[in-house]
Amino acid sequence: MYRSPAAHRAISRSVYATAALLALVAANVPSHAADAGDADYSEYDHHDGKFTVCKRGCRYDKIQRAVDKAKAGATILIGPGTYFENVVIDEKSVTLVGVSAGETMIDGGFRGPVFALGSQNPGAAPAPISVTLTGLTITHGQGVAGGGISQNVAMFEVTDSVIVSNVATQSGGGIDAQSASDFIPPDVPATTIERCVIANNQAPIGAGIEIEAEAAAQITDSIVSGNVGGNGAGLHGEYASSTHVVGTTISNNISSGDGGGIWIASPKHEVGVPGGSVSLSSSAVVNNTAAGVCGGVAVAGNLSTTCAAGSPGVVIALNVPGP
């Protein structure tokens, strides 16, 4: 199959970018064997109020305690180290800011989702709050819908973070976006993922990211790679969901079903039920694998599944089976 020089350059850039960022992930993922609580962070002057939470010398040494005590709308600054916690945010809007994904790590110890946002009861309405996470590594979470982040709030944003090595028994190993945008204008996504790496997560569907029915999401300048599961190992979009993917590489994901990179429900997937939509811009879906059909992007119809092809500015290539 002929590919233009521009397409070849886009594929090369995406592959090299994926390799570089995954090397960074591997270098920075925390280990249970080494608790960073014993590290010396004396170079940080905790007494100047720089951090709200840190291993020593701050008002709080646990993120959950800081969240519980915070006023609505507060920004919580988290110092370097590994925090072995499962954080619940369901009553107030807060912003959590780490030093960087390489320095501030939240390890859920496979005891539950690392971040449970809003009610976790099936079918519960999204909490009318806003949560922002930035500069964090989120790892070793385990949940039903959402291992790393289980999102059921009106507005959620995660930026400059790594969501890696999380597990869900149902959907969304890395992130499960459950909420619809009931509390915000219809054109505004309830979930924003920007400059993030979502890698090496596992779930039966949407191992990397699951966009639930009626939820809306924007994924920008990110990498979704190395996730393993069933349909839509990289990204799975349910009925009536809406996802915009911009400047993002979805690569090296492995599906035991259809859609190694992306699976999306079409309007005809189930009669009478609105389909989902995924728009791709300046992005690449490459080197993904599916045991069924469509290694790249699977569009599931009522009786059959079709495979999406690339378009101007979008590369869908080198997937097995192709395109």
Q: pLDDT of the chain along its 323 residues, tens only? A: 334 444 444 444 444 444 455 555 544 444 333 333 333 333 344 334 589 999 999 999 999 999 999 999 999 999 999 999 999 999 999 999 999 999 999 999 999 999 999 998 877 888 999 999 999 999 999 999 999 999 999 999 999 999 999 999 999 999 999 876 555 555 678 899 999 999 999 999 999 999 998 889 999 999 999 999 999 999 999 988 889 999 999 999 999 999 999 999 875 555 566 778 899 999 999 999 999 999 999 998 777 899 999 899 999 999 999 88
Any idea of the CA torsion for 84, 90, 91, 97, to the nearest 10 degrees? 50
In a domain, 323, yes or no: no
In whole angstroms, what separates CA 208 from the centre of its chain?
A: 6
For residue 43, give the amino acid letter. E
In a domain, 322, yes or no: no
What pLDDT is attached to residue 45? 40
What pLDDT is attached to residue 100? 97
Q: Which residues pair with 96 in a beta bridge?
A: 76, 133
CA 255-168-100 angle, 5° bins? 95
What pLDDT is attached to residue 62? 97
What pLDDT is attached to residue 11? 44
Name the DSSP class of 181: -
Note whether 274 and 309 are within 8 A (CB).
no
In a domain, 292, yes or no: yes
What pLDDT is attached to residue 6? 45
For the chain, what is the domain count? 1
For residue 166, give the amino acid letter. N
What pLDDT is attached to residue 277? 86
Smallest Cα–Cα separation from 148: which of 135, 164, 134? Answer: 164
In a domain, 230, yes or no: yes
Strand pairing category for 197-199 and 162-164:
parallel
In a domain, 138, yes or no: yes
In whole angstroms, what separates CA 247 from the centre of its chain?
A: 15
Query: CB neighbours of 54 closer than 8 A, spacing ≥ 6?
Result: 41, 44, 46, 61, 78, 79, 80, 81
Give this prediction's pTM: 0.86
Range of the domain at 275: 5-317
SS3 17: helix
Q: Within 13 Å of residue 265, how many CA atoms lie on the same side as its CB?
A: 23
Q: How far is Cα 281 from Cα 248, in angstroms, rounded to an integer?
A: 8
User: 31: exposed, middle or buried (C-beta count within 10 Å: 0-12, 13-18, 19+)?
Assistant: exposed
Note whether 110 and 135 are within 8 A (CB).
no
Q: Which residue has the tokens 């993120």?
A: 63
Q: Within 13 Å of residue 5, how many CA atoms lie on the same side as its CB?
A: 0
What pLDDT is attached to residue 211? 95
